[in-house]
A and B are shown apart, each in its own frame.
Chain A
Amino acid sequence: MSQTWYLLRNHEVPDIGQMEVYRAHGGYEALKKALNQYQPEELVDLVKKSGLRGRGGAGFPTGVKWGFLPKDGRPRYLVVNTEEAEPGTFKDRELIEKNPHQLIEGMIISRYAIGAKEAYIYCRGEFLEGYEQLTRAVKEAHQAGFLGENILGSGFSLNLFVYRGAGAYICGEESALLESLEGRRGNPRLKPPFPAVAGLYGMPTIVNNVETIANLPPIVTYGAEWYTSMGTEKSPGLKILSVSGKVNRPGNYEIPLATPLRSLLDDYAGGMQEGRSIKCIIPGGSSVPLLMPEQLDTPLDYESVLKAGSMLGSGGCIVLDDTVCIVKASARLVKFYREESCGKCTPCREGTYWNTDVLERLEAGGGSQEDIDMLLDISDNINGKCFCPLGDASIGFLVSAIQHFRDEFEAHVREHGCPLEAKVYDTVNY
């Protein structure tokens, strides 16, 4: 039952990124419906009713976020966050590379709902292909009259700009993204004020994830009830999970929320590769604590995953199999945060550096028992003390790894190196 539900359903259609093909598959019909049948505030209500939550990682209700916009007549901006780089997550890249019009249609609907006259797509610098697809699609949409002045005779206008980042994961944090969009270093901003009040160029701004906005056309087409008929009451609808690791079919899968983790891995991703078994699973991107094989029945919705001790986050599901050294995996994930820390605040800048070094030393066999407790203490000194969520994100996996696999950490100390070494470096199953 590896059904693709909506956002990914046309991805096998050749040239679905082209305007005609997209329209031949029902593209921009939702936009027409939105413009013809809804007043802007009704659309905001629709989104509220659908229960759609931000798909970038935090899971904040989108309609509520839109409701934060002050009604003071200042110009508003809509910004779509395409700085997808959290290890394990790769859904937004596929969405913009394969089907850019779906996002653009969602943006025009959103623009109509929140009253922004300008919208930006902040595209990750590494996504050159995606950037080119978006730029081309925006041009097509202009030519087709979906962008620019007086869209489809509605009297509404929208200018849409595609802006390319230049290699900084921190720009996925919405205020850092806005800094970058204004041509500055991507340092997160002090909050409050939140972007909804003072965002891009100091104006009220909504920053949403690609997947979030891409969900607008189906919600408009099929209605809020359709959306809430899937998932749970608090986590309704569909979510794309990116599955990687030693499964048979790594890739993006759109599932109704609350689908059990086991079903995602077995029914969608084709189960584990021959001869591999699950050691643990990262369910929601590199920043979340791991889940153990005995938790495979956890329904993949925000609340259930939280209850199980982790987070659904961005939906980057990495499956670690029995050959993986947990110390090496931890070191690699923490190193990512060290490389991507903007350096503004002390605990994140120095803490990620320290943790990485200790982990790499442990992995190489130069660690001591005290180091393991020290890692927990350093992580505690990072936890909740940083300027933005990146610092906390750097310790989610590490702390849970030590909790669940302390014996493996200790074995690295005892045996002066990795007890799994031979297996880790086997090259049988890439």
Chain B
Amino acid sequence: MIRLTIDDQEITVPEGTMIADAAAKLGIDVPVYCYHEALGPLGACRMCLVQVEKMPKLATACTTAVGEGMVVHTKNPAVDKGRKGVLEFLLINHPLDCPVCDKGGECFLQDYTFQYGPPQGRFQEPKIQKVKDGPINEFILVDQERCVLCQRCVRFMGEYVGEPQLLLDGRGVETVVATVDGKPATSQFSGNVIDLCPVGALLSVPYHHKARPWNIEREEAVCTLCPVGCTTLNTGRDGHIVRVEGRPVPDRSWGWLCDRGRFGYDFAIHPDRLTSSLLNGQPEAAARTTRQVGQWLFDVVNEHGGESVAFVVGGLHSTEEAYQLRRFAEDVVGTSRLAVSRLEAGYLPRGLNGTFEDIDQADAVVLVGADPYEAVPVVHLRLRDRVRAFPGLKLMGVAPRDLGRETLSVDTVVTHVGHEAATLAEALKQVAGDDPSVAALHAPEVPGLDQASIEPLAKALTESEHLVLLWDGLEADVEAVLVALARVRGDKATRVLPTWGPSNWRGFERAGFSARLNDLTQILHDAIDGKIHMLVVWGADLMREYPDRALVEAAFEKVPVLVAEGLFAPLGQEHFQAILPQAAPGEVYGTYVNMEARLQVAMPSVQPPGQARPTKTYVTTWAHALKKSLPLPEDWDPYDDNSGDLLPEESLDGLEVRALGAIDTPEAGAVEVISGSLVIENGIPSDILKPRIPSFPGRISADLAERLGIHEHGTVRVSRNQRSLAVPVAVDPQLTPGRIFIPLASGPLAVNQIGLGAANVTVQEEVPSA
């Protein structure tokens, strides 16, 4: 540790700390443009000049490491003159067009000029003219004249994300930030450069000329579009959210967002958004539909009892809303048929749930099925952070496809569909075959598995000190293997991050809903068996989501009263007697639990549009209709005194290691359908994101494409279990031969129509309709 003095205050910091960071710890503001802790020192902007005693020149606080006994002054005449000089330089070629700049009022160039800059300019020469409002991509504009060449954006894309789509073009005063040959940047992390830009050079296209800082309300919120739960600042204006920015949380998150999270906010004002209700298929005022649903509830409960009503929660609801629904269902309706809508069969016991900090400490990470880049994008950046800090990280995968990418190399054991659990179990058998937990798995043998190929995996699973697994949940049996693995590893950390949705499923569980798929399946079977007379689907879109669409349809056909609430009309809306409009995140106060089991609060920035109402409004109305009181404690708080912002830990002791099921092995040469979630195309509509949504979301292996005569992309018909599906596919050379990837729940193309698994699939070219 190093002791030094900054502005007469003493501080002790670790060796290698930069003066700027040490000063920040003391609350001393050292102005910077180019420096960002995540990107490391650069020393380009020279804004952070400070005086260090015994140094002949002013030093840059962002590149000068602390030294024992150092005495630093961040405010004195020499420093002031230096900063003033740098600001004057930055301004000479700056267009000074603040009145028409989106950044006006939130701009570091303005702020620092106000604070440290010269009161007036002395520059009389012509300014260099560069490109204004040039495109970086569909979402981002570059104004090269406003750029201070801090390189944050270029370094972020190149070094941090590993997708070097921005570049410095030219030299000296003519240097500009540009894309290669004007081609749009395609990285799904591109929007972060808007947040990183300290001036008005990189701007959001959808927010362009939309508002001034004094027009807007910025509220702390959480992105709910995937299970990562990134922290955001939502900008509301005139009743709409018009911008989402990343919100760094000290010592926890840099505040990165993926483009889905940053630009997908317009789902709330999408034309398809429900703002009034449908009653028996006809538009109707929501208040009237609500009363009608209350009447049905009253009738059904009176006639068939409370247990004949089932509630399924899902979508983007908050934990509080789920809690209110659960209390209503249990206390007022009197039913225990409660489930969370799930896309995947897997379940993760709370006791195994890890946090992102586990990634920061991991010496091995195993991806089970999950591709973090597609499913939980910002975790992908977290993994890259870890690789940078700890290049020895063992990063492996077990999945039906190679999970490696240019930005993250993953040593993947490619399995057949449905063989992930058994493959992991084989690996465990190799190194801990005698362990009773492993024996209890009764793992089936994996035909054709090369034992040597899983040796490194087996080693990583058992020898690592801090093991993190990311699991996509598609294969339910993996749960048992994870429990056994934790048993085998004993005291060594074994932490799992579930990458599945709905993003707040842990919150729903906290609110009292069962998140196990079995319980939902039971409800569907009960419905088919005629035991359920009213099914209330809250925020979920079961036909799109549930792994077997046919079962949902069968249930829908049998249930006499089918009611939905949602942001959008669910698939199969003809089955529903009533569809009610939901209030979205950002429109209600709510707590959301992310994949770390971490509770995070989102403040509302706007009111729900039209007749959309929060859950509480509906359930209190229906409690009246049922002539019962709904005692909702105002102070119910999902937070727990002992666990802070994480859900309470649960012991693993009670968990039983279940035996694995049998596995199917496809015949040699058979085609296999595989799947995974794709955040960018997760079915939630967004006009802003439209250009980025792939027109061919499916992917086909090169050998299949060749066999079918498909170049680059085309449409294929995939048949399975007497059902078939037309799938627009792009050729993916990295895909294992004989495989077709169909994303989970992506728009109209949902793999649950045919299902996946180790089965034979016939592929043929779609005959174009006449």
A and B touch in the complex (CB under 8 A): yes
Residues of A that sit less than 8 Å from B by CB = 168, 185, 190, 338-347, 349-354, 357-358, 361, 374, 378, 380-382, 384-387
Which residues of chain B are within 8 angstroms of A339 by Cβ–Cβ distance? 172
Contact of B86 among A347, A374, A380 (CB under 8 A): A347
Which residues of chain A are within 8 angstroms of B124 by Cβ–Cβ distance? 361
Instruction: Please determine whether A385 and B92 come into contact, CB atoms closer than 8 angstroms.
Output: no
Q: How far is the CB of B440 from chain A (nearest CB, A)?
A: 50
Which residues of chain A are within 8 angstroms of B43 by Cβ–Cβ distance? 190, 345, 387
Instruction: Please determine whether A343 and B82 come into contact, CB atoms closer than 8 angstroms.
Output: no
Instruction: Please determine whether A338 and B173 come into contact, CB atoms closer than 8 angstroms.
Output: yes
Instruction: Please determine whether B49 and A350 come into contact, CB atoms closer than 8 angstroms.
Output: no
Any chain A CB within 8 A of the CB of B183? no
Contact of B46 among A185, A190, A354, A386 (CB under 8 A): A386
Given contacts A168-B171, A350-B92, contact A345 B122 (CB under 8 A): no
Any chain A CB within 8 A of the CB of B408? no
Q: How far is the CB of B145 from chain A (nearest CB, A)?
A: 13
Tell me whether chain B's interface is mostly helix, strand or loop, or mixed. Answer: loop
Any chain A CB within 8 A of the CB of B762? no
Binary per-residue interface labels of chain B (170-183) against chain A in the complex, 1 for a CB within 8 Å, 0 otherwise:
11111100000000
CB-based nearest A residue for B94 = A350
Give the number of residues in B that approach A within 8 Å (Cβ atoms): 38
Any chain A CB within 8 A of the CB of B697? no
Binary per-residue interface labels of chain B (113-129) against chain A in the complex, 1 for a CB within 8 Å, 0 otherwise:
00000000011111010
Given contacts A381-B85, A381-B86, A384-B58, contact A346 B168 (CB under 8 A): no
Which residues of chain A are within 8 angstroms of B82 by Cβ–Cβ distance? 381, 385
Any chain A CB within 8 A of the CB of B624? no
Could you jot down 16 A-B contacts, CB within 8 Å? A340-B172, A341-B172, A341-B173, A343-B172, A344-B44, A345-B43, A345-B44, A346-B44, A349-B149, A350-B89, A350-B92, A354-B123, A354-B125, A380-B85, A384-B57, A385-B58
Instruction: Please determine whether B85 and A343 come into contact, CB atoms closer than 8 angstroms.
Output: no
Instruction: Please determine whether B92 and A387 come into contact, CB atoms closer than 8 angstroms.
Output: no
Instruction: Please determine whether A387 and B46 come into contact, CB atoms closer than 8 angstroms.
Output: yes
Instruction: Please determine whether A387 and B172 come into contact, CB atoms closer than 8 angstroms.
Output: no
Which residues of chain A are within 8 angstroms of B81 by Cβ–Cβ distance? 380-381
Q: How far is the CB of B170 from chain A (nearest CB, A)?
A: 8
- A193→B25 CA distance, assembly (Å): 26
Instruction: Please determine whether A381 and B125 come into contact, CB atoms closer than 8 angstroms.
Output: no
Tell me whether chain A's interface is mostly helix, strand or loop, or mixed. Answer: helix
Within 8 A of A (CB), among B613-645: none
- A341→B89 CA distance, assembly (Å): 14
Instruction: Please determine whether A347 and B89 come into contact, CB atoms closer than 8 angstroms.
Output: yes
Instruction: Please determine whether A381 and B89 come into contact, CB atoms closer than 8 angstroms.
Output: yes
- A349→B94 CA distance, assembly (Å): 13
- A388→B128 CA distance, assembly (Å): 24
Which residues of chain A are within 8 angstroms of B499 by Cβ–Cβ distance? none
Q: How far is the CB of A255 from chain B (nearest CB, A)?
A: 31
| For the complex of A and B, 9 pairs with smallest distance between CB atoms | A381-B85, A350-B89, A357-B125, A384-B57, A343-B175, A343-B172, A341-B172, A353-B173, A346-B89
- A387→B84 CA distance, assembly (Å): 17
Contact of A350 among B41, B57, B84, B93 (CB under 8 A): B93
Which residues of chain A are within 8 angstroms of B41 by Cβ–Cβ distance? 190
Which residues of chain A are within 8 angstroms of B196 by Cβ–Cβ distance? none
Count chain B CB atoms within 10 A of each CB in A338, A341, A352, A361 and give the residue with the most.
A341
- A195→B16 CA distance, assembly (Å): 19
Which residues of chain A are within 8 angstroms of B85 by Cβ–Cβ distance? 347, 378, 380-382, 385
Binary per-residue interface labels of chain B (44-59) against chain A in the complex, 1 for a CB within 8 Å, 0 otherwise:
1111010000001110
Which residues of chain B are within 8 angstroms of A168 by Cβ–Cβ distance? 171
Instruction: Please determine whether B174 and A343 come into contact, CB atoms closer than 8 angstroms.
Output: yes
CB-based nearest A residue for B85 = A381
Any chain A CB within 8 A of the CB of B42? yes
Given contacts A338-B173, A358-B125, A374-B122, contact A345 B45 (CB under 8 A): yes
Any chain A CB within 8 A of the CB of B88? yes
- A343→B92 CA distance, assembly (Å): 14
Instruction: Please determine whether A350 and B125 come into contact, CB atoms closer than 8 angstroms.
Output: no
Within 8 A of A (CB), among B44-86: 44-47, 49, 56-58, 63, 81-82, 84-86
CB-based nearest B residue for A167 = B171
CB-based nearest A residue for B65 = A192
Which residues of chain B are within 8 angstroms of A350 by Cβ–Cβ distance? 89-90, 92-93, 173
Instruction: Please determine whether A346 and B173 come into contact, CB atoms closer than 8 angstroms.
Output: no
Which residues of chain A are within 8 angstroms of B149 by Cβ–Cβ distance? 343-344, 346, 349
- A339→B174 CA distance, assembly (Å): 9
Which residues of chain B are within 8 angstroms of A361 by Cβ–Cβ distance? 124-125
Instruction: Please determine whether A346 and B148 come into contact, CB atoms closer than 8 angstroms.
Output: yes
Which residues of chain B are within 8 angstroms of A386 by Cβ–Cβ distance? 46
CB-based nearest A residue for B170 = A343
Instruction: Please determine whether B46 and A343 come into contact, CB atoms closer than 8 angstroms.
Output: no
- A330→B56 CA distance, assembly (Å): 27
Instruction: Please determine whether B171 and A342 come into contact, CB atoms closer than 8 angstroms.
Output: yes
- Given A344-B151, A349-B175, A387-B46, 8 additional A-B pairs, CB 8 A: A190-B63, A338-B172, A340-B172, A343-B172, A350-B173, A361-B124, A380-B81, A381-B88
Which residues of chain B are within 8 angstroms of A385 by Cβ–Cβ distance? 46, 49, 57-58, 82, 85-86
Given contacts A350-B92, A354-B89, A387-B44, contact A343 B148 (CB under 8 A): no
Instruction: Please determine whether A353 and B93 come into contact, CB atoms closer than 8 angstroms.
Output: yes
CB-based nearest B residue for A392 = B57
Q: How far is the CB of B152 from chain A (nearest CB, A)?
A: 13
- A385→B59 CA distance, assembly (Å): 8
Q: How far is the CB of B293 from chain A (nearest CB, A)?
A: 64
CB-based nearest B residue for A388 = B43
CB-based nearest B residue for A351 = B89
Which residues of chain B are within 8 angstroms of A185 by Cβ–Cβ distance? 168, 171
Instruction: Please determine whether B172 and A347 come into contact, CB atoms closer than 8 angstroms.
Output: no
Which residues of chain B are within 8 angstroms of A374 by Cβ–Cβ distance? 122
Contact of A354 among B56, B84, B92, B174 (CB under 8 A): B92
- A342→B172 CA distance, assembly (Å): 4
Within 8 A of A (CB), among B161-192: 168, 170-175
Contact of A346 among B57, B86, B126 (CB under 8 A): B86
Instruction: Please determine whether A346 and B90 come into contact, CB atoms closer than 8 angstroms.
Output: yes
Q: How far is the CB of A338 from chain B (nearest CB, A)?
A: 7
Instruction: Please determine whether B86 and A343 come into contact, CB atoms closer than 8 angstroms.
Output: no
Q: How far is the CB of A419 from chain B (nearest CB, A)?
A: 23
Which residues of chain A are within 8 angstroms of B86 by Cβ–Cβ distance? 346-347, 381, 385
CB-based nearest A residue for B45 = A346
Q: How far is the CB of B480 from chain A (nearest CB, A)?
A: 47
Which residues of chain B are within 8 angstroms of A380 by Cβ–Cβ distance? 81, 85
Binary per-residue interface labels of chain B (400-434) against chain A in the complex, 1 for a CB within 8 Å, 0 otherwise:
00000000000000000000000000000000000
Instruction: Please determine whether A346 and B125 come into contact, CB atoms closer than 8 angstroms.
Output: no
CB-based nearest A residue for B56 = A384
Which residues of chain B are within 8 angstroms of A342 by Cβ–Cβ distance? 171-172
Which residues of chain B are within 8 angstroms of A338 by Cβ–Cβ distance? 172-173
CB-based nearest A residue for B40 = A190
Which residues of chain B are within 8 angstroms of A354 by Cβ–Cβ distance? 89, 92, 123, 125
- A343→B173 CA distance, assembly (Å): 6
CB-based nearest A residue for B57 = A384
Which residues of chain A are within 8 angstroms of B84 by Cβ–Cβ distance? 381
- A130→B44 CA distance, assembly (Å): 34
Q: How far is the CB of B681 from chain A (nearest CB, A)?
A: 37
Which residues of chain B are within 8 angstroms of A347 by Cβ–Cβ distance? 46, 85-86, 89
CB-based nearest A residue for B49 = A385
Which residues of chain A are within 8 angstroms of B49 by Cβ–Cβ distance? 385
- A339→B173 CA distance, assembly (Å): 8
- A60→B49 CA distance, assembly (Å): 27
- A386→B85 CA distance, assembly (Å): 12
- A3→B81 CA distance, assembly (Å): 50
Within 8 A of A (CB), among B20-56: 41-47, 49, 56
Q: How far is the CB of B78 from chain A (nearest CB, A)?
A: 10
